[in-house]
Structure 1
Amino acid sequence: EKKWLEREVPLTFRIDRAKEVIHIGRKDNVLPDGEEIPFKVVEGTTQCLIIGTPSTKNKRQDCTMWVGENLVGELENRCYTIFREECGKAKIIMERIDSICRRAFRVARPTETEEN
């Protein structure tokens, strides 16, 4: 089993509602001052957040999805349906609860080897 390297990465989030884009930057001077990376908001609700970027490997976006702990494994939920349809074959590759966070979130995203 692959071991995860844990580290803290301070991020900034800026939402452009008109373009349905979230701009994510880093506060630790790894990116030049003011530089941000835009991600298209595929779905954003109180149940989940799915963001993506155009894929170089297939027609669907490369996405990341966050859901509350109560939705982990609920594969018939609307969030998972959208994730599968918009982002290719979804596979949960990490399940971890961060005890520091107020709410527990887990990450799911397609693996790099999956193509359509």
Structure 2
Amino acid sequence: MGQSKPFARVAVVVEDDDIQRDMIALLLEESNFQVIRCEDAETAALALKMRHPVLLVTDVSLAGRMDGIELARLARMTNPALRVVVISGQAPMTALPDGVTFLAKPVYPSALVREATH
């Protein structure tokens, strides 16, 4: 019998910029997360419902009808234990839902990993 792989925690990364999304995903994969990459909040909402992740990392500004703060609110209502990190180049214009962490862009890898594994 071969060695079993450690159980990978699932994370959803929502970022409409391909490079930013890939960088965040790679960083989380190095921290033993299985990452679902999404371009918009609607796709991410479906991933949250179907895959039951332990972490959501979302940009505030997203393509589509829902922004990252609305997605964070929906995610926390659906699963209050979900770790949610919202990222943006600007401070959010509306209050973040309870339990949601904000990180300003550029996001430092160590800060993201600390919040993801907190």
TM-score, normalised via structure 2 length:
0.30
Rg bigger for which structure?
A: 1
TM-score, normalised via structure 1 length:
0.31
Bigger relative contact order (CA 8 A; separation at least 6): 2
Higher helix share: 2
Higher strand share: 1
